[in-house]
Structure 1
Amino acid sequence: MKTINVMVEGGKASLAPPLGPALGPLGLDSNAIVKAINDKTKAFNGMQVPVNIIIEGKSFEIEVGTPTTASLIKNELGLKEPVKEEPNVKGKKIIGNLTIQQVKKIAEMKFDSMLSKTLESAEKQVIGTCASLGVTIEGKPAKQFMKELKEGKARLT
């Protein structure tokens, strides 16, 4: 049994690297594998999705993980293009704003694949990713929102 782990764009996998070179030497129907991956990931169109291809003999099975938290945040904001930092500009560029409900929605989508024990801690992980991306929460910088949470000045409900 062999497992191949790759990140593909939802619904748009192809035989280009990294998939093609990994599948080529195995002697399987690579086009059938790519079609199966695209069928299973089409709901995540435009997002990077982790995919495991489990190969046993001449048969294969496709397991699809959830997209990264950053991909879910960008999708929620409607961003399609990668965000580029501006040179010689101090501080994070603000790329968008999420509501508490959107943070909760993303945390619920990722909860099963996170190490968080509670939904609240998963929401805090999402807020941490927002800080890295330059996304505000309810109009406030994510780090400030997190500080207000700890002080009891803000709530996640």
Structure 2
Amino acid sequence: MTKLKLIIDGGKATANPQFAQSLGPLGIMQNVLNDINKKTIDFKGIKIPVEVEVNKDKSYSITIGTPSVAELVKTELKAEKGAGYQKLEKIGNLAIQDVIKIAKMKRVGLLVNNFKGAVKTVLGTCNQMGVFVENREPKFISKEIDKGVYDEVILKEETEVTKEKRTELKDYLDNINKELKSKLQKVKELKEEKEKAKEAKPAEGAAPAAEAKPGAKPEAKKEEKKEVKKESKK
């Protein structure tokens, strides 16, 4: 059995020297490439790990690895990370078609009963990352899916978004982030103040400094008592 591991651009696999050397003599190289491209067509613009196993009888199997849902969301938004404060910071505003696109990429690896469940799983990740969907919190879109609001686009597995809608989503996101900016700044400042106050406190377990009591020291009083006893014996 021959095993090959590749990193390819989704839907655009080509033969590298290792691939050509291993599969060229078997006469199945182009068939394998075509099958890889069919399986990864939904991953356009994304680097995908692929593993090919070829048997002696020239039969073969292809295993497609996929990034996590969070990574796919970040790739779609061209974002480096999710929001630190999900309620006060939004890193993106996806169309339902974008969510469907990501669900199509991950549907095989998700533990769901149907494609609608895969879409809702992606929405859950968006909610955790501070990402709007259709100008709203993803949890509301998920409830609308349960009511059948998006049945048509989900059934058709639509993934195309018009330029007009993309502009509308961006404008809404920009306006929301402007409104949230001052609130986010206050939260960050409050957090910094708490951290500084915590650092300023004495270490736990440190003994408090003893306070001096008014009057003579205990040792001095003991000495005085001893002197009095000695004098009384004389």
TM-score by length of 2: 0.40
Query: Unaligned regions of 5+ residues in structure 1, if any?
Result: none
Cα displacement (A) at 1:74: 5.6
Alignment of 1:139 with 2:138, yes or no, is no
Q: Structure 2 unaligned segments of length 5 or more: list them.
A: 150-234
Of stretches 109-118 and 45-54 in structure 1, the one that deviates more from structure 2 is 109-118
Counterpart-to-counterpart distance in 1, 2:23 and 2:2: 15
Higher mean displacement: 96-105 or 115-124: 96-105
Match of 1:9 in 2: 9
* 1:155 corresponds to: 144
> Hey, what does 2:62 align to over in structure 1?
63
Shift of 1:67: 4.6
Question: Equivalent of 1:28, from 22, 28, 38?
Answer: 22
Distance 1:134 1:127 in 2: 11
Per-residue deviation at 1:28?
1.9
Q: Which has the higher strand share?
A: 1
Q: Deviations over 1:66-106 (max 9, x none)?
A: 7544565467x4x5xx52249xx843563422233543454
Partner-residue secondary structure (3-state), 1:53: strand
95-104 or 56-65, which deviates more:
56-65
1:84 pairs with 65, 68, 80, which one? 80
Structure with the higher helix share, 1 or 2: 2
- Structure 2 CA distance for aligned equivalents of residues 109 and 90 of structure 1: 26
SS in 1 for 2:22: coil
**Aligned pair in 2 of structure 1 residues 90, 47: CA closer, same or farther (>3 Å)?**
closer
CA contact (8 A) 1:7 1:48 kept: yes
Matches within 5 A, 1:73-152: 73=73, 77=76, 79=77, 83-85=79-81, 90-91=84-85, 94-104=90-100, 106-108=102-104, 110-141=106-137, 145-146=138-139, 148=140
Conserved? CA contact 1:12–1:45, under 8 Å:
no
Contact kept in structure 1, 2:94 and 2:134, CA below 8 Å: yes
Matches of 2:96 and 2:123 in 1, distance apart?
10
Q: What is the RMSD of the two structures over their aligned residues, measured on CA atoms?
A: 4.5
Cα offset for 1:54? Answer: 0.8
For 1:91, the aligned partner's letter is Y
Shift of 1:137: 1.6
TM-score, normalized by length of structure 1? 0.53
Which one has a bigger Cα radius of gyration?
2
Q: 1:66 to 1:85 in 2, by over 3 A?
A: closer
Report % sequence identity.
Answer: 25
**Equivalent-residue separation in structure 2 for 1:100 and 1:117 (angstroms):** 20
State the partner residue of 2:52.
53
Q: Per-residue displacement from partner, 1:105-153 (whole Å, max 9, x unpaired)?
A: 5435543442201333222211123235542122234xxx32x478xxx
Q: CA distance change for structure 1 residues 101 and 15 in 2, over 3 Å: closer, same or farther?
A: closer
SS at match of 1:155: helix
The 8 Å contact of residues 15 and 34 in structure 1, kept in 2 or not, is answered as: no
Is 46-55 or 56-65 further displaced after alignment?
Answer: 56-65
Letter in 2 for 1:129: T
